[in-house]
Structure 1
Amino acid sequence: MSFVVPELATPVEAFATALGIGLLIGMERERRPDSAAGLRTFSLVAMLGCLFALLGEKSGGPWMLAVGLLVVAAAMVASNFSSQQEEQYRGFTSEAAVIVTYGLGAAVWYGYATLAVMLAITTTILLYFKAELKQFSQRTTPKDINSILQFAVLSLVILPILPSQDFGPYDAINPRQIWWMVVLISGLALAGYLALRIVGARHGAAMLGIFGGLASSTATTMMFSRHAKEHADLVRMSAIVILIANVMVMIRLGIVSSLVAPALLTPVAIVFACGVVPGVAMALWSWKALTEAGELPMPEVKNPTELKTAVSFGVIYAVVLLAAAWLQDVAGNSGLYIVALVSGLTDADASVLSTLRMYNLDKVPQDEAVIAVTLALMANLIFKIGLVLSIGGRRLARDALPGLFAIGCGMAGGLLLV
């Protein structure tokens, strides 16, 4: 029996790569006094995996790799038994890393050097950030785990079983495409939601603005408008958080646009960049206020992966799709723009995604799609300005509105450029 080796590297290149992988992982293990193996051991194990892969190929016996793995495992068992005798049990992390390193060395010989290096880097990162991962686990609550499991249901259970066919008037409804948008938005919101829960408020306005914008810029704006009203000494701090959160909306939707409608990315990126740059500049201008900040409150963000929340977004998205298709058919471009303005007031995501969907179906040309996306964000920005004025009051408006207006003017200028 012989192996089919894709793009087999020369022996010197293969063993050099395996040695590099062993050195990389071993360097991380060497710095830990409780590790079962260090720099030399991992380097030898990686080359051993490459050597047994070579021998297995030349001898035509796939069992050679298994023999090598048994040798390595037996050596680890003996070492661990000796440690237990000395009452110095070290755990199983280093042993698992040794097995992975052996497999990566074998993978290099079979022509998967790039993949092996990527996995080696990933392994090293996991080993290096032990304390941070432990802290992550400790800070994760049952509610957070429930959120992750719910997202898994949304993306891995519901999405695959939905039909990928167009239904309804104007063929505007595609169940799988609609749910894919739900998964995409929920995933980004979940990342921000978990980051807020884990990082906490003690890391300041920048983190709250960034992760609050990913999770829900509306909730963040509302929360810190209320906070500014109650704590006059932190008005400027709240304004910075609100400004950063609204900058993150454009960054988040820019990422979504690149995934949903890559052909539309360049003009959309220009418009968004023209809004992001002045927003960031205004935030930096007020950055000195960060040193005066006390403990900031956590935005009250709902779990974005709850089935009720996900279904609600999917329904809103489908309704906006139908309304946009119908109004464009009846009123032309003005109908699409009306839908973008109205729906964008409270939910820019649904409005932007519906426009991108219609663009992908060739129902909306590029220029009109960019205008509709910009109008949706403009309407959403106007809604946030209303929240600042009605909840935060005059003092917050004085600090927050210049930045929000700068974002709006920047997007308008970017639209003219496009």
Structure 2
Amino acid sequence: MNPARHTMDDLFLLEQERGYLAQFATSLAIGLLIGLERERSPAAKAGLRTFALVAMFGTLTAMLSHKAQTPWLLISGLLLVGIMVIASYRDKRDLPEDPGTTTVTAVLICYGLGAMVWYEESTLAVMLAIITTILLYFKTELQGITQNLTRKDLISILQFAVLSFIILPILPDRNYGPFDAFNPHQIWLMIVLISGVSLVGYIALRFIGQRYGAVLLGVLGGLVSSTATTLVFTRRNGDRPDITNLAVVVILLANLVVLVRLALITEVISPVIFPYLLPVLGGGLFLGLITSLFWWREFSQQQIIPMPDTKNPAELTTAMGFGLLYAAVLFLSGWLSDIAGSSGLYAVAIISGLTNVDAITLSSLRLHGLGKLEIVEVVTAITLGVIANLIFKLGLIFFTGNNVLARRCFLGTVAIIIGLAGALSTASYLSYF
């Protein structure tokens, strides 16, 4: 035999064995991670060592099954592990508490993750191991969430699932009508996007809004509905003048979150527009934060914070209402822009922005994607819509709130408007667009 060939074979085998060791080390780490969490449970029959061995056993049976070119070794190993773990809980079958279903399931998952490592899915296996450990560790918190969910919350989640996974996939993704503005799939996708963002804020508001104070309440209120948040705190302040500064902070933060939300939506839908819109929204955000911080220092965080009563954002009627508004604004923007130029678009932006700034934002981005609008027109229309929306909410405060709240919110709102208008004017003067 050629000595050189023999040396090369030895090197190849050594490299291959190192690969095997790396795979078994990965499965060992996966087992130790999950087992570390299970070791904390006194009732668990499987702990640190058991999970580590099961994960490596999964890798071993996958290797043997692969080399023998039969799946039955891997399947037999899974059945064997399941039978052994279930048998270990037989002495608890007459006890009223959980007979170890979670641990049995975790062991089987651990075996499967070990097998995945052999089939070169180590990254996915590690990710799933981390997710599994998180689910096991946060048992109390997850149980608390499910116990606190109301029928209204579950309906919200189910309705959003209907909007996203039943209605959206069956809608045609084609352009119809004048200006090719009507695309059922795109319109419904915008409904899902806005409903999803609002639903996250709605659920978070239910669970952690009052617990973590005014800042988070303002942020979550802005995600769900800045108009509803403004109206609720204006009315509450009429009954309780002692929370005036708190109401100012929550209202201003809710309006500032609208700017952040619009920036994120733009980045997702139209990344081309994002770098042009960001400085304008950033100008309003900067001045608004300064005034919010001023009033933040004036109130005590120990005050009881009223929670805004918001509607279910994923309710079908709410979603349909937004969809119709979005489609109408989309058509009017395209039509008036075609017959009256920029002034027609800006008129629609101001009128529609009074009650809903999302519609003109999404419509402008859509028309830009169709080649109907220039970048400067899109940014200007969105800015005018935001300013109109701020003025509308300021009017609500003046008509439904007391004079002190109105004056303080006026200063903060005007600061945001000055920041928006100033940034837009500066960008136009410098020919940034």
TM range (shorter): over 0.9
Contact 1:224 1:238 in 2 (8 A): yes
Q: How does 1:11-30 map to 2 (within 5 A)?
A: 11-30=20-39
Task: Work out whether 1:393 is the aligned partner of 2:425.
Answer: no
- Residue 361 of structure 2 is aligned to residue 352 of structure 1: yes
Partner of 2:233: 224
Structure 1 segment 90-105 matched on structure 2, within 5 A:
90-105=99-114
Change in 2 beyond 3 A, CA 1:282/1:157: same
TM-score normalised over the length of structure 2: 0.90
Aligned pairs for 1:307-322 (under 5 A) are 307-322=316-331
Counterpart of 1:81 in structure 2 is: 90
Q: What's the secondary structure of 2:401's corresponding residue?
A: helix
Q: Any conservation in 2 of the 1:205–1:290 contact (CA below 8 Å)?
A: no
- Cα distance in 2 for partners of 1:64, 1:189 equals 49
Indicate whether 1:284 and 2:293 are aligned: yes
Task: Please give the secondary structure, in 2, of the residue aligned with 1:31.
Answer: coil
Rg larger for: 2
- Within 5 Å, give how 1:2-41 maps onto structure 2: 10-41=19-50
The question of whether the paired residues in 1 share the 8 Å contact of 2:173 and 2:183 is answered with: yes
Aligned pair 1:372/2:399, yes or no? Answer: no
Structure 2 counterpart of 1:307, which letter? L
SS at match of 1:262: coil
Say which is worse superposed, 217-226 or 156-165, in terms of deviation.
Answer: 156-165
Gap change, CA 1:322 and 1:289, over 3 Å in 2: same
1:69 aligns with 2:44: no
2:176 is paired with a residue whose SS is coil
Shift of 1:180: 0.7
Residues 218 and 251 of structure 2 are in contact (CA less than 8 Å); yes or no, is this contact kept in structure 1?
A: yes
Q: Closer, same or farther in 2 for the Cα pair 1:379/1:51, shift >3 Å?
A: same
Partners of 1:286 and 1:34 in 2: CA distance = 52
The answer to whether the 8 A contact 1:337-1:372 is kept is: yes
Counterpart residue number, 1:129: 138
Matched ranges for 1:16-415 at <5 A:
16-84=25-93, 89-199=98-208, 201-289=210-298, 291-415=300-424
Cα RMSD of the aligned pairs, angstroms, is 2.0
Give a deviation string over 1:59-95, Cα, whole Å, max 9, x none: 1011121111112101211111134467775431122
Letter aligned with residue 12 of structure 1:
L
Task: Tell me the amino acid that sits aligned with residue 329 of structure 2.
Answer: V
Rounded Cα–Cα distance in structure 2 between residues aligned with 1:40 and 1:250: 52
Q: Per the alignment, do residues 40 and 400 of structure 1 end up closer, same or farther by CA in structure 2, a change over 3 Å counting?
A: farther
Alignment check: 8 A CA contact 2:245 2:296 kept:
no
* SS across alignment from 1:259: helix
Number of residue pairs matched by the alignment:
411
Instruction: Work out the CA distance in 2 between the residues paired with 1:399 and 1:33.
Output: 57
Deviation string for 1:26-66 (max 9, x for gaps)?
22222232333222222222111111111111110111211
Q: Give, in angstroms, the shift of residue 399 of structure 1.
A: 3.0
Identity of aligned residues (%): 50
- Stretch moving more, 177-186 or 18-27: 18-27
AA in 2 matched with 1:287: W
Give unpaired runs (5+ residues) of structure 2.
Answer: 1-17
Note the C-alpha offset of 1:376: 1.1
Q: Displacement of 1:269 after TM fit? A: 2.5
Aligned amino acid, residue 318 of structure 2: T
Paired residues of 1:80 and 1:89 also in contact (CA < 8 A): no
Range 305-314 or range 26-35, more displaced:
26-35
Q: Give the partner amino acid of 2:296.
A: W
- Between the aligned partners of 2:298 and 2:117, the Cα distance in structure 1 is 53
Cα distance in structure 1, aligned partners of 2:95 and 2:339: 83
- C-alpha separation in 2, matches of 1:279 and 1:35: 53
For 1:10, what is the secondary structure of its paired residue?
helix
AA aligned to 1:311 is M
| Structure 1 residues not aligned, in runs of 5+ | 1-8
Q: Matched residues in 2 for 1:63 and 1:276: separation?
A: 62
Deviation at 1:314, TM superposition (A): 0.6
Deviation at 1:200, TM superposition (A): 5.0
Inter-CA distance 139–316: structure 2 relative to 1 (3 Å threshold): same
1:150–1:305 Cα contact (<8 Å) kept:
yes
